[in-house]
Structure 1
C-alpha cells in the first residue's frame, strides 16, 4: 500500500512539473504540447491507481469473508448433499445459520461485502450471508431478501429470507418493504412456493400483517 501511495505522489509531482515546464517553454509548438500532454497523462494515472487500490481492497475483503464463512457454507452444502431431508437435516442447517449470525455480531464486515457474498456466492455462501444479515441488521440488503424470496435455490433459503424480512422489517425503507411484499405476494400465488400449511406461509402472513400495519399508520398521518 505504501508503494502505491509513493507512486501516486510521484505521478502527481511529475505531472504537475511537466505541465508547469510546458507553460514556461517559449516554443509554443511541438515541445510545449508534448510536455503538456505528458503532464496531463501523468495526472490522469493517479485516479486510476486509486480506483485500482480500492478494487483490490474490496476483492481482498471479500476473499477474507469467504474464508471466514467457509466452514459454514461447506457444512451447509455437505448436509444438503449427504443427509436425508427431515428434521435432523433441518436442525443441522439451522445450526449453520446460527453460526453465521454469531459471526456477524463481531462487526468486522460491511453490508456491501455481505451483499456481494450473497450475490456471487454458492448455495452455502448465500445462506451464510442471510444468516449474517439476521445476526446484524446493519448488514441487511433488501435486494438479497427479494432475490432469496423470488428466486430461492431451496425452500430453506426462502424460509431464511422470510425470517430475515420479518426481523428487519422496521429497518427497511418503505420502497424496500414494497419490493419485499411484491415478491412475497407473487410466491403466495398458486404457482409460487409459499403455499398453505408451511412455515414459510406463516412468515409470509406475518409480513402481510406488518405491511398492513404500516399502511394503517400512513393513513392516520
Structure 2
C-alpha cells in the first residue's frame, strides 16, 4: 500500500476529480520501413538457416544413397561404396540426432566424454580441455552413442575413427602420462578404453604390451580390438619377442578375427610379420 496522501481531502476522503479524458501512456517510436523489415528478417534467419541445413542434409543423404545403390551393380571398390553409403545414412539421420541432442542437452543424455576420462586420468582430461577438444569430443561421443542398430555399424566406426584421430593428434603435441593412459584403459568405459589406444597411436612411447594383449584377447568392443591390432601391426618392432609370441597366440585364439573382416585383415598382416 502506498504511503502518500496525494488526492485526499482534509476530511480524509478522496476529493472529487474533474472529468478528463483517459491519458494513454506515451508510446516509444518503433522502427518503420526498411529497419523493421530488416529486424524481422534477422529474427527469422536462424530458423530459415536451420530448415535449409536440414534440407541440404536430406537431399545429400538421398543422393549418396542412390549413388551407392547404383554402385552395387557396377564395378566400384567395396571400401568406397561402404563409405558413400555410410555418409549417406549419417546425413539422413543427422537432423533427428541434432533434435535429440538439443532436447536433452541439459538432461542425462549428453555424453560427457572428457569427464569420463577425468574419472581415471585427471591430467589427461585437463590436457584435452586445454587443447580445446573437450566440447568436440563430447559432441562426437554423443552422436556415436545415438547411432544404434547393425545397419549403422559402419557409420559408428567412422565417427569413432574421427574421435581417435583427434585424440591421437593431441598426443602428438602434448605429452601424456603412461600410467594415466593405462588407468584410462583398465578403469574406463568402453569408449574411454579406445581413447587410451588412440593416445598410444599418437605417441608410441605410451604403448604397453600388457594393454595390447588384453585389448586383443579380451576386448569389450570390436573397435577396441581393431585399434589394438593396428597398434600391434604398426609398432611391431617396439614389442619384445615374448610379447610377439603372446599376441600371436591371442590372435589365433580369437573367434572374431576371421578373414574378410577389417580386424581379420589386420590380424593376417600381423601373422606375416617377422620376429
Shared fold, TM over 0.5:
yes
* Counterparts in 2 of 1:77 and 1:186: CA distance versus 1, 3 Å: farther
Query: Counterpart of 1:105 in 2: which secondary structure?
Result: helix
Does structure 1 residue 170 correspond to structure 2 residue 237? yes
Quote the Cα distance in structure 2 between the aligned partners of 1:149 and 1:79.
26
User: CA RMSD for the aligned pairs?
Assistant: 2.4
Q: How does 1:100-115 map onto structure 2 within 5 Å?
A: 100-115=167-182
Aligned residue number for residue 78 of structure 1: 142
SS of the aligned residue for 1:203 comes to helix
How many residues get paired?
Answer: 150
SS at match of 2:256: coil
1:63 aligns with 2:130: no
Gapped regions of structure 1 (runs ≥ 5):
1-58, 215-221
Distance 1:73 1:195, change over 3 A: farther
Residue 8 of structure 1 is matched in structure 2 by none
Shift of 1:62: 2.5
Question: Structure 1 81/72 Cα, relative in aligned 2: closer, same or farther at 3 Å?
Answer: same
Hey, what's the Cα distance between the residues in 2 that align with 1:140 and 1:76?
A: 25
Deviates more, 1:106-115 or 1:119-128: 106-115
Aligned counterpart, 2:81: none
Higher relative contact order (CA 8 A, sep 6+): 1
- Structure 2 length-normalised TM: 0.50
SS at match of 1:93: helix
Which blocks of at least 5 consecutive residues in structure 2 are unaligned? 1-117, 129-133
Highest Rg: 1 or 2? 2
Q: Does residue 136 in structure 1 map to residue 203 in structure 2?
A: yes
Name the CA shift for 1:135/1:166 in 2 (closer, same or farther; >3 Å). same
Provide Cα deviations, 1:71-92, integer angstroms capped at 9, x if missing partner: 5764564344201423332211
Q: Give the superposition deviation at 1:60.
A: 10
Of 175, 180, 191, the residue aligned with 2:247 is 180
- Given that 1:166 and 1:207 are in contact with CA atoms closer than 8 Å, whether structure 2 keeps it comes out as yes
Aligned partners of 1:117, 1:134: CA distance in 2, in Å?
Answer: 15
CA drift of 1:196 comes to 2.4
1:200 pairs, out of 259, 263, 266, with 263
Between the aligned partners of 1:73 and 1:124, the Cα distance in structure 2 is: 11
Task: Give the CA deviation at 1:129.
Answer: 0.6
